[in-house]
Amino acid sequence: MLSALFIYAMSKAIPTPDRTHEDIQDERGVRKQSAAEKEPYWKSLKAGLRTIYRHDGLFALLLLLVPIMLVMGVINTNLNAALLQTFRIPAEHFGFISSMVAVGSILGALAAPHLMKRMASNVLLLGAVGVIGLFCLLIVPLHSLYQASGVLSVYVWSIGLGVSMACTNVPLSSLFITIMPDEMRGRGSGVFDSVSQAGTVLGIGIGGLFASMFGVLLATALAGLLLIIVVVIFPLLKYNQALRTTNEAKMTGGDLAMSSSD
């Protein structure tokens, strides 16, 4: 509904001045020249991959994106099964608990920009990834806590999971926009989207396989353990230094812009 309203508002925007015949001919000439110079799709994709691979900061984001999306796929596969089959959440609570993840995501999206003013984006990103892993691990004792104390604990867990997911997405997007060169942004976005979708689909398959082998709770906990390992190991790699350097350069640039405006 909001999208429809925004599009309708765009249709009411002030129109551009009437174009002359010469203007139309010039535009057609530019379009033909651009079409002739346009690269083939696979060549553009290869150029985007080359740019990401040669840039330590972009490659670092890609390295982090893979395990994040794998775990997201596992969560998507196992969460409903855990709530319905293992926890046996009553029907009157199931819909509300599922929506609590979305509520947490909204709260996290609102809080993340304020957190990014207080800490480096790469620190917030790694911290949020670690918290997602922690919440995945906590699903095992959560089962016992739910049986002992009731459904409120599951509500709290769901909100916390949603907040941590949003606090991962915001710095990840911010770092990507900051690092990616303007002329490669479209290609880079295509590569990142492809990796994201492929990781999610692969995670869904792995989540189902692990659930059949270990059960939904243990499968989710193993996915969380993977993220914890990533958070512990990643700061030891040179790619983390690339993200830190990028963030410091961004902060320095912001300070210079504020000084010049003053």
- What DSSP string describes 27-80? HHHHHHHHHHHPPPHHHHHHHHHHHHHH-HHHHHHHHHHHHHHHHHHHHHHHHH
One of 1.20.1250.20, 3.40.50.300, 1.10.3720.10, 3.40.630.30 is the CATH number of 43-245, namely: 1.20.1250.20
Residue 153 sits at φ, ψ, to 5 deg, of -60, -35
Q: Using alpha carbons, list the distances in angstroms from residue 246 to 132, 138, 181.
A: 24, 33, 13
| pLDDT score of 123 | 85
Distance CA 238, CA 244 (A): 10
How do the domains of the chain map onto residue ranges? 43-245
* pTM (global) more than 0.75: no
| pLDDT score of 27 | 53
| pLDDT score of 104 | 93
pLDDT along the chain (262 residues), means of 10: 83 62 52 52 70 76 86 88 90 89 91 86 88 94 90 93 90 81 72 83 89 90 92 82 63 43 43
| pLDDT score of 44 | 67
